[in-house]
Structures are given as C-alpha cells and as structure tokens.
Amino acid sequence: MVTSSLSVLRACGLYQWGLKNWARMSGPPLLRLGGRSTWASSRTTATLSLKPSGRCCWDEPLHIAVRGLAPQQPVTLRASLRDEKGALFRANARYRADAEGKLDLARAPALGGSFAGLEPMGLIWAMEPDKPFWRLVKRDVQTPFVVELEVLDGHEPDVGQQLARALHERHFMLPGVRRVPVREGRVRATLFLPPEPGPYPGIVDLFGLGGGLLEYRASLLAGKGFAVMALAYYGYDDLPRSLETVHLEYFEEAVNYLLHHPEVKGPGIGLLGNSKGGELCLAISSFLKGITAAVIINGSVAVVGASIHYKDETLPPVGIMRDRIKVTKDGIMDVVEALKSPLEDQKSFIPVEKSDTTFLFLVGQDDHNWKSEFYANEASKRLQAHGKEKPQIICYPEAGHYIEPPYWPLCRAAHHVLVGGPIVYGGEPRAHTMAQLDVWEQLQTFFHKHLGGES
C-alpha cells in the first residue's frame, strides 16, 4: 500500500554550526531589552550544556541548553564540523534567553538563521557546506565527526563576544560493536556485528554510485541488533575501477558469505540499498535465492547506466534522453525527466516478478535524480500482476534523493558520476530531516519483523 508520511514526520531539530574566528567586541556584550540597549555584566558566565555530554552516536538526539545568560538576552548559536577532506559544514540560529537567563533548545524556538521554530536538532541537520555541490560522507567510521558549538552574544549580523563553546563527538559505532573486514573470494566488504555473540538478522547494505566502501549506515545499524555487511562493488581495492557492467555472481558470493556466517540468523537475509544500491537490490532479489526482505530507498526498477548480467541473461540500461535535461537558474542540471520509461524500454525492466522477497519502498517525493515514486508503483504493479505480495510503499512529501541516517544534512545538489556535472537532488531541509527520522525507524521495524529479530 502507498501511505503518505506527513503524519509520521515528527519535529526533531538539530543544532550546529561553528566558526573559530568570529569578530569579538572589545567591551562587555551589548544587550537589547525592550527596544533599548544595555550592557550585560562582564562577570556573567554562560555555560553550554550537552546531554549526552561529550559523545553519542550520529543517529541519537542531542539536548542543548545554555545557562548563566542575562534575562531575555539575545544570543546566536553556531555549529560546525569539518569532513574528512577538510570541507566545512555549518549552521546558525538566533535565540533569546528566558526570564531566568536560561535557554533550552527543546523548548525555545529559533528566531531565524539557518532554520526557525522549535527545532532541538536544527543546528545539526541544517548544516550546509561552504564548498558548492559538496555532500557530507563518512568514510572512516572508527573516528567521529567533531562538532564545534558556540554561543555568541547578540543576533547576527551584530554578534558580540563568544560566551561559551563546546566540542561534541558524533560517533558511528556503538561501544562494543565489532568491525570485521571481509576479503573472501572476490568479495570486498566490512561486516559489523553487535557487541554480544549472535546470531542476528543479516543485512547486505549497498550505496549508490560513487564507488568505494561506505560503512556508516551499516555500523550504526549494527548497534540496533543487526549483522550488517557494507558491500563495495566498484572503485575499491582490486574491484573494477568503473561501473560499466554489473555481474550478479559477485553479489551472489556476498549473499552466500552472509547466509553461512555463524553469527547470522537464517534461513534468509535482508538487502538495504539507496539510489543505484536500491536498483541493485531489486536485481539481486529477482535473480538470486536467500533474500527474505529488501528495503529500497529511492531506487529504480529500470537498469540505469550499466547493464546487469547473470549467467546467460543480460538486462540493458534504459535509454537516456539528453534533450530532456533542464538547467536551473543557478546553472544546475535537473535530470528527473532524462531517463526513458521502462514501460517503453521493457528489456531494461528488472523482472521483480521472479522474486519471492518481501519489499518495502521508501520514496522521497521530491527526488530529482529519477522518478522514484513512479518506479516503486510500477514494481508494485508488476509484482501483483504475477500474483506476488503487494509491497508496502511509504512516500515522504518534500524529501529528496539522498535519504540518510537521522540528522544527516540534506544534499540538495552535487556532482553526478554519469551526468558529469552537478545535478539537483531535491528536498526541503526540514521535511527531508523528518523523513530521515521515520525511514530509520521504518526500516528497522521491517527487518526485525521479516528477519526474525527483536523489535
């Protein structure tokens, strides 16, 4: 069934953005109260309180509060982090302390900045890169992202001195989670296992185009009671450097490895994939055995870019109509209409009717990479036409293409490997954030239900 998730999207919020070298005033901070200006006491000591203090996992909420401010004092909060390549992401928001000089982001609405309203985690999810067309990615899950939080007197653009500062670590492995590099036959992957001995429900995790081995979703899910294998399929180690042809025999090796692992429950495993990874999950489920459940996040039911081979069968990629590519006023390409329909290119339609897998499709309705909602509906029609189980489809209004773990900053536009330049990926920041929160819960519930885990 298709359900709209506006009712499920709960307010959350984030907080972060910081800069180390902000202009500071030479005297005590100027305080504006009731339209007049007064000077706050230079002896006032503000403290920034974070709970949990020091560190938490990326998908956990953070409680932010400030104490020791003057009554009704206007302040600006900033948050920032640098990714592993040094790119800066940041956000800011304006607030006002209460009558007791306290500020609690769970109770006080932001008055403007990178976001407005009651958004306790706004400083995290509203972060944007300084570098154009840059997407936040975590490659080394054994180290955290370090977020710098600052409290400054006044409201931008007239901020004064820094009143408080704190560093917060957002980790990707729950303490005790085991990280096991996998190099079996042709398989290049990393298996993440919960702290205690298994067996656990097993999941193969696949990301989209870009190559390499991305582990951050798998490492976080291992902390939820799953054995998750982050699987590379090109552009990593001795795997092919580019993706011109996909051979499903490689994925068959990976599936069999996980099926026979002593800490993985049987009789089947799950697949989790977004974008190209979602397309591959549909193909794997259609041709291979042992797949009990699959979650497809903004995937395509048509083969895109590279042909898919399994034994003596070949699925060619769907046609591309470059004349349908539009360019936004900012000079960014919008490719949502560029792919031919698999209803026209029937040979590119992945034969999902061959699958006995239970599917969950999670769809961002503002996905501009391709028509994810259309693909999910066509897959559902094909399955039902062949007497298979009707899949669940959950649609998220104003959510874009890259649906990530909770609180992940929205990637609105970035470079696309196949297009050869930046494209629009879609999404409205707050709605996208709410979608990510719900998707995270939905996929865990789905896998626990169908793979025999404990919800």
Q: What is the 3-state secondary structure (H, E, C) of 405-452?
A: CCCCCCCCEEEECCCCEEEECCCCHHHHHHHHHHHHHHHHHHHHHHHC
- 219 in active site: no
Question: Active-site residue among 80, 114, 219, 275?
Answer: 275
Q: Could you tell me where the DSSP H helices lie in 100-148?
A: 122-125
> Letter for the amino acid at 346?
Q
275 is catalytic: yes
Told to judge if 104 belongs to the known catalytic residues of this protein, a careful annotator would answer: no
- Catalytic residue chosen out of the listed positions 205, 367, 368, 450: 367
State the DSSP code for 289. Answer: S
- In whole angstroms, give the CA distance from residue 216 to residue 136: 11
Neighbour-count burial of 372, counting CB atoms closer than 10 A to its CB (0-12 exposed, 13-18 middle, 19+ buried): buried
Q: Which residue of the set 401, 416, 448, 450 is catalytic?
A: 401
**Long-range contacts of the stretch 310-317 (C-beta < 8 A, 24+):** 310/247, 310/248, 310/249, 310/283, 311/249, 313/287, 315/283, 315/347, 315/348, 315/350, 316/345, 316/347, 316/348, 317/348
Q: Is the peptide bond before 109 cis (omega within 30 degrees of 0)?
A: no
Q: Do residues 259 and 290 make contact, with C-beta atoms less than 8 angstroms apart? A: yes
CB burial readout 310-337, b (16+ within 10 A) else e: beeeebebbebeeeeeeeeeeebbbbbe
Catalytic residue numbers read 275, 367, 401
